[in-house]
């Protein structure tokens, strides 16, 4: 049994849904659990619905939702024939659930409504895809993942209850493979013990695939993407970027930590724990080898470059030279915890601490204000953080050619450069 995960780009048009259907059909003999994201930019569109609803702009919310409905209804017409009525009814049931809510007034938290509304993107796309597969005579069944993946009620960032989820996978998913070749379900979403929908954080569908793989002891997970493989850098910025056919779990965790948008960072641990390989493959050309990620150490890797733009450097300077003691550092870290902001890079000097953060305007302003009780605070914005793993001098030289380096940190494997552009 294998897990396939298809992202929003692999199902964002009629052609692409058909292509995804073909990939699934050709491999259905191996028993597949298919995890899908919402189509294309549906999640962003649903976020706009939530914002309008929560701002009290009910008409806007309904109007925006109408557009999302239309695009799915159109696709279902083209993708199904014999099963069209069933497929359309299934979509309409989901629509009703959301519209009910949109007619109410918000009385609970933003995050709560976010999850109740945004979760439908994955319900729509998975239902579409499954009905198309059935129409094509694949022996497939649709499963509402909210009956399977249990989380706490930390809306927008639900923590998975592994015990409950493991049990429900054993009882409700495993037996389905006796009857069906393909199970189609949703990434990114789950539900609480009170049947409220939850989400696992943006881009969380990769993580869902890993949860299923871990609990079903799958043979492998394949993430189907619109790239040939995991690359050593963003080819739009670095034309010399190359494909990397093999990476270790550790390497991928490191890359994700430094900001590479390869795979959702939570994905690796559940796979590493059960030694399940993760394959990244191109849905545009499945014959390409892609990337295999597993427990083996990768042979010599090229310099891997990750860039994070929109960074802010904050210097916290002790007002009375007291930085050498532990207390001020501890106070600062408490502040970071309270504001829920963590530095991407930090460096001590005798009387100051330099930290680089993603420039989340509100949090940064609050941090600067709160810290100014204890420290002199200086701020520089519009910086970029360049991380190079497996660096060499030549690569670094090219990267900083027309830039000023304001902070640098090196270990044997990794160099990080904070630069002014």
Residues at the site binding Mg ion, with contacts judged by CB under 5 A: 7-8, 37
In the complex with Mg ion, the residue whose CB is nearer, 223 or 356, is: 223
CA dihedral in degrees (236, 242, 248, 252; nearest 10)?
-10
| Smallest separation (angstroms) from Mg ion to the CB of 9 | 7
Residues that contact ligand ASP, how many (by CB under 6 A): 12
Alpha-carbon gap, residue 111 to 157, rounded angstroms: 9
CA–CA distances in Å: residue 26 to residues 20, 29, 39, 167:
10, 8, 22, 30
- Per CB under 6 A, the list member of 10, 19, 43, 222 interacting with ligand ASP is 43
Which listed option, Mg ion, ligand ASP, none, makes contact with residue 187 (CB within 5 to 8 Å by class)? ligand ASP
Give the range of 202-210, 214-222, 233-241, 388-396 binding ligand ASP by CB under 6 A.
Answer: 202-210
Asked if residues 284 and 226 have their Cβ atoms less than 8 Å apart, the reply is: yes
Give the range of 152-160, 203-211, 240-248, 352-360 binding ligand ASP by CB under 6 A.
Answer: 203-211
Which listed option, Mg ion, ligand ASP, none, makes contact with residue 40 (CB within 5 to 8 Å by class)? none
Tokens in use for 272? 């590493």
Tokens in use for 100? 């009910």
In the complex with Mg ion, the residue whose CB is nearer, 8 or 158, is: 8
| Smallest separation (angstroms) from ligand ASP to the CB of 7 | 6
Residue 187 makes contact with ligand ASP by CB under 6 A: yes
Tokens in use for 4? 């396939």
Alpha-carbon gap, residue 341 to 310, rounded angstroms: 15
3-class SS at 236?
Answer: coil
Q: Site map for ligand ASP, 89-128, x if CB under 6 A?
A: --------------------------------x-------
In the complex with ligand ASP, the residue whose CB is nearer, 94 or 188, is: 188
Which listed option, Mg ion, ligand ASP, none, makes contact with residue 126 (CB within 5 to 8 Å by class)? none
- Per CB under 6 A, the list member of 40, 158, 204, 303 interacting with ligand ASP is 204
Q: Which residues on neighbouring strands pair with residue 409, listed in sequence order?
A: 416
Q: Which residues on neighbouring strands pair with residue 224, listed in sequence order?
A: 6, 281
Q: Which residues on neighbouring strands pair with residue 347, listed in sequence order?
A: 354
Residue 138 makes contact with ligand ASP by CB under 6 A: no
| Smallest separation (angstroms) from ligand ASP to the CB of 126 | 11
Which listed option, Mg ion, ligand ASP, none, makes contact with residue 20 (CB within 5 to 8 Å by class)? none
Alpha-carbon gap, residue 386 to 417, rounded angstroms: 5
In the complex with Mg ion, the residue whose CB is nearer, 37 or 395, is: 37
Residue list 2-41, contact with ligand ASP (CB under 6 A)? 7-8, 37-38
Alpha-carbon gap, residue 125 to 67, rounded angstroms: 15
**C-beta atoms surrounding 244 within 10 Å:** 23
Residue partners of 164: CB distance under 8 A and separation at least 6? 150
Which listed option, Mg ion, ligand ASP, none, makes contact with residue 265 (CB within 5 to 8 Å by class)? none
In the complex with ligand ASP, the residue whose CB is nearer, 43 or 395, is: 43
Asked if residues 306 and 255 have their Cβ atoms less than 8 Å apart, the reply is: yes
State how far Cα 282 lies from the chain centre: 18
Which listed option, Mg ion, ligand ASP, none, makes contact with residue 21 (CB within 5 to 8 Å by class)? none
Alpha-carbon gap, residue 34 to 248, rounded angstroms: 24
In the complex with ligand ASP, the residue whose CB is nearer, 94 or 323, is: 94
Closest CA to 207 of 254, 276, 270, 252: 270
| Smallest separation (angstroms) from Mg ion to the CB of 205 | 6
Phi-psi region of 203 (alpha: psi -120 to 50; beta: other; left: phi over 0): left
Which listed option, Mg ion, ligand ASP, none, makes contact with residue 207 (CB within 5 to 8 Å by class)? none
| Smallest separation (angstroms) from Mg ion to the CB of 187 | 8
| Smallest separation (angstroms) from Mg ion to the CB of 206 | 9
Closest CA to 381 of 370, 396, 397, 365: 365
Residue 265 makes contact with ligand ASP by CB under 6 A: no
Using CB under 6 A, list all residues that contact ligand ASP. Answer: 7-8, 37-38, 43, 121, 187-188, 202-205
């Amino acid at each position: 049994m294998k897990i396939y995960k298809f992202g929003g780009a692999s199902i964002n048009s009629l052609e692409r849904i058909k292509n995804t259907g073909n990939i699934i059909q050709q491999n259905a003999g191996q028993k597949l659990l298919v995890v899908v994201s919402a189509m294309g930019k549906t999640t962003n569109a649903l976020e706009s619905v939530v914002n309008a609803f929560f701002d009290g702009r009910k008409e806007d919310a309904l109007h925006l939702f109408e557009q999302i409905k239309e695009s799915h209804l159109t696709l279902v017409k083209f993708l199904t024939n014999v099963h069209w009525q069933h497929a359309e009814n299934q979509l309409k049931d989901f629509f009703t659930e959301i519209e009910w809510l949109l007619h109410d007034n918000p009385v609970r938290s933003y995050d709560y409504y976010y999850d109740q509304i945004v979760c439908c993107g994955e319900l729509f796309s998975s239902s579409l895809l499954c009905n198309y597969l059935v129409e094509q005579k694949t022996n497939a069944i649709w499963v509402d993942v909210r009956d399977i993946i249990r989380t706490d009620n930390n809306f927008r960032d639900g923590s998975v209850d592994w015990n409950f989820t493991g049990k429900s996978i054993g009882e409700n998913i495993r037996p389905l493979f006796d009857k069906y070749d393909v199970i189609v379900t949703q990434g990114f979403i789950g539900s609480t013990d009170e049947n409220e929908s939850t989400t696992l954080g943006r881009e969380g569908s990769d993580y869902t695939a890993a949860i299923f793989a871990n609990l079903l002891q799958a043979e492998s997970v394949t993430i189907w993407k619109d790239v040939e493989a995991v690359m050593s850098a963003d080819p739009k910025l670095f034309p010399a970027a190359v494909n990397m056919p093999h990476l270790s779990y550790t390497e991928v965790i490191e890359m994700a930590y430094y900001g590479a948008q390869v795979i959702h960072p939570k994905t690796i641990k559940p796979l590493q724990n059960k030694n399940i390989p993760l394959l990244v493959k191109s849905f545009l050309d499945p014959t390409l080898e892609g990337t295999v990620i597993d427990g083996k150490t990768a042979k010599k890797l090229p310099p891997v470059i990750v860039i994070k733009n929109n960074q802010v450097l904050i210097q916290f300077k002790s007002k009375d030279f007291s930085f050498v003691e532990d207390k001020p550092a501890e106070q600062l870290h408490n502040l970071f915890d309270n504001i829920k902001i963590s530095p991407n890079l930090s460096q001590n000097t005798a009387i100051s601490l330099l930290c680089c953060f993603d420039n989340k305007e509100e949090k940064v302003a609050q941090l600067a204000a709160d810290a100014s009780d204890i420290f002199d605070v200086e701020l520089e914005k519009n910086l970029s953080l360049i991380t190079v793993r497996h660096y060499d001098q030549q690569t670094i030289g090219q990267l900083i050619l027309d830039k000023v380096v304001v902070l640098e940190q090196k270990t044997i494997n990794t160099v990080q450069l904070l630069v002014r552009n």
